[in-house]
Amino acid sequence: GENVEQHPSTLSVQEGDSAVIKCTYSDSASNYFPWYKQELGKRPQLIIDIRSNVGEKKDQRIAVTLNKTAKHFSLHITETQPEDSAVYFCAATSTMYSGGGADGLTFGKGTHLIIQP
Amino acid sequence: GAGVSQSPSNKVTEKGKDVELRCDPISGHTALYWYRQRLGQGLEFLIYFQGNSAPDKSGLPSDRFSAERTGESVSTLTIQRTQQEDSAVYLCASSLASTASLSFGPGTRLTVT
């Protein structure tokens, strides 16, 4: 099955600086890579995703890059703001389901992003 | 439209009792996941339902855990003979199979005393 590693587990940056969170995956068949943000006490929310047919995707201050050869993908947040403080989870899956079983999303262990004022 | 709903929102139970947690996915979402999240920890995959395929039960931690899903609607997660280590937030999520983008429910906070 898929194995997703996420680093760092905690990241503290000054407000206004950039933050980068990195993930690696093991299954070369994986082709969909979402990122979720979980604020304290709330449910995870999808913030951006990327499919394996593109190498980068941007949405305002958030961008995700994908290196299929190296099997890693990263989340970049620029001009960080206090409201960016949260736990961020990366995930990977193949949308090509196999046989009678089902392949679901595999999550990384999360990165606690702290924005220092 | 309505999102994923879960009930109860909080459950306190005594060690050894059985509990049943409910998830109502978004209408039309064929994929449904259960995750466990211990305090300050990541998302631990439990079980995944996709349409009529056999569910992926590879994440269930023991035979005390089981889950059912009726067609492409409601799912229930049952924990038998609860233990203190079962205390966690149990999150349900659903998605359209074609996008795999998950919508999470608010979770059920389970406390085993």
pLDDT, average across residues B55-84? 93
| Mean of pLDDT values over B77-101 | 89
Closest CA to B105 of B66, B77, B80, B64: B77
The reply to whether residue A100 touches residue B41, judged by beta carbons under 8 angstroms, is: no
**Alpha helices, H only, chain B:** none
**Best residue of B32, B33, B41, B43 to probe chain A, by most A CBs closer than 10 Å:** B43
Of B10, B57, B7, give the one whose Cα is nearest residue B32. B57
Angle (CA) B24-B6-B91 rounded to 5° is 105
Provide, rounded to the nearest whole percent, the portion of chain B with pLDDT above 90: 67
Q: What is the per-residue pLDDT for A102? A: 42
Say what the pLDDT of residue A105 is: 81
Tokens 């983008």 belong to B101
List all residues 6 or more positions away from A41 whose beta carbon is below 8 Å from its beta carbon: none
For chain A, how far is it from start to end, CA to CA, in angstroms?
41
User: What share of chain A in percent tops pLDDT 70?
Assistant: 92
**pLDDT, mean of residues A90-115:** 74
Q: Are A32 and A94 in contact (CB under 8 A)?
A: yes
- Find the residue in B nearest to A36 (Cα): B102
Averaged pLDDT for residues B33-52? 89
B9 touches chain A (CB under 8 A): no
Q: Classify strands B108-112 and A72-77 as parallel, antiparallel or unpaired.
A: unpaired
- What's the gap in Å between the CA of B105 and the closest CA on chain A? 7
In this complex, which of B35, B42, B101 lies closest to A46 when CB atoms are compared? B101
Q: Who wins on pLDDT, B60 or B2?
A: B60
- pLDDT surpasses 70 at A48: yes
Measure the CA–CA gap between A11 and A111, rounded to whole angstroms.
Answer: 7
Q: Which of residues 51-90 of A touch B (CB under 8 A)?
A: 89
Q: Looking at CA atoms only, how far is residue B42 from chain A in angstroms?
A: 5
The answer to whether residue A96 neighbours chain B at the CB level (below 8 Å) is no
> Does residue A92 belong to the interface with chain B, where contact is any CB pair within 8 Å?
no
Please check whether residue A44 touches B, CB under 8 A. yes
Q: Residue B99 — very low, low, confident or very high, per pLDDT cuts 50/70/90?
A: low
Closest B-chain CA to A108? B42
Do the chains contact at B54 and A1, CB–CB below 8 Å? no
Q: Answer whether residue A94 shows pLDDT above 80.
A: no
Query: Average of pLDDT values for A16-26?
Result: 97
Tell me what pLDDT residue A99 has.
32
Is B7 part of the contact surface with chain A (CB cutoff 8 Å)?
A: no
* CB-based contact, B38 to chain A, within 8 Å: no
**Tokens for B86?**
């079962």
Instruction: Say yes or no to pLDDT of A70 above 70.
Output: yes
Of the segments A13-22, A50-59, B1-10, which one has the largest average pLDDT value? A13-22
Summarize chain A as % helix, strand, coil (round to 5): 5, 55, 45
Check CB contact of A10 with chain B, cutoff 8 Å: no
User: Is pLDDT above 90 for A45?
Assistant: yes
Min CA distance, A8 vs chain B (Å)? 13
The tally of CA atoms less than 13 A away on the side-chain side of residue A25 is 28
